[in-house]
Amino acid sequence: MASQPLAPDSDRTFAEARHASAVARGIGRLFARNGIWCMAEMPLRGGRRADLMGIDAKGHVIIVEIKVSRADLLGDAKWPDYLDHCDRFFWGLHPALDRGCMETEAFRPEACGLIVGDGYDAEILRPAPLLPLAAARRKTEVERLARAALRRQVVGADPHCAAWGD
């Protein structure tokens, strides 16, 4: 499940960050019930950061980009970069967000799944198609995710370790 809340950044208000954390929690619960384990705020190569990144029981890498405001959704031009880091890509939306634009070509419905979630649960409205990564790329992404998860676990248990390693 999501291991840390989605933090507010320069583009998010605290209310939006709270909604995004709730959506992440609901998606984390949905994924856990389906054997998908994910982590929040996963740094990617190229300076991007996946809101949720996880692995399913078959080893497929999944990324969820969470949106809770119309402005954030419509203003996000970087999301296609995430497709290079996963086998399945989902939009994770707050229930109050208008989803009408998600069917337009700008949001590539043929390549992206759609999940709506809140702090309690989530529902897949459109499954994400499997667009397989090259085996070497998948291996790299899985290893990066595993190392990041292990680092967070160790640093959570002993914060002094944060200064060591990569």
Q: Is residue 6 a part of any domain in this protein?
A: no
With 0.95 as the threshold, say if the pTM is over it.
no
Task: Kindly tell me if the per-residue pLDDT of 137 is higher than 60.
Answer: yes
Amino acid letter, 49: R
Q: Is residue 76 a part of any domain in this protein?
A: yes
Task: Kindly tell me if the per-residue pLDDT of 154 is higher than 90.
Answer: yes
Q: Is residue 3 a part of any domain in this protein?
A: no
Q: What is the CATH number of the domain that holds 76?
A: 3.40.1350
pLDDT: which is higher, 5 or 121: 121
Chain-centroid distance of CA 95 in Å reads 17
pLDDT: which is higher, 30 or 73: 30
**Rounded CA gap, 100 and 75, in Å?**
15
Q: Is residue 47 a part of any domain in this protein?
A: yes
Task: Kindly tell me if the per-residue pLDDT of 160 is higher than 90.
Answer: no
Strands (E), the chain: 37-43, 49-55, 61-67, 88-93, 113-117, 122-126
Mean pLDDT, residues 89-99:
93
Q: Is residue 123 a part of any domain in this protein?
A: yes
Q: Cβ distance 90 to 112 under 8 Å?
A: yes
pLDDT band at 165 (very low <50, low <70, confident <90, very high): low
Q: Is residue 120 a part of any domain in this protein?
A: yes
Domain residues for 111? Answer: 14-163
- Say how many domains are in the chain: 1
Structure tokens at 30: 């949905």
Q: Is residue 1 a part of any domain in this protein?
A: no
Q: Is residue 52 a part of any domain in this protein?
A: yes
Task: Kindly tell me if the per-residue pLDDT of 7 is higher than 70.
Answer: no
Q: Cβ atoms within 10 A of the Cβ of 54, count?
A: 26
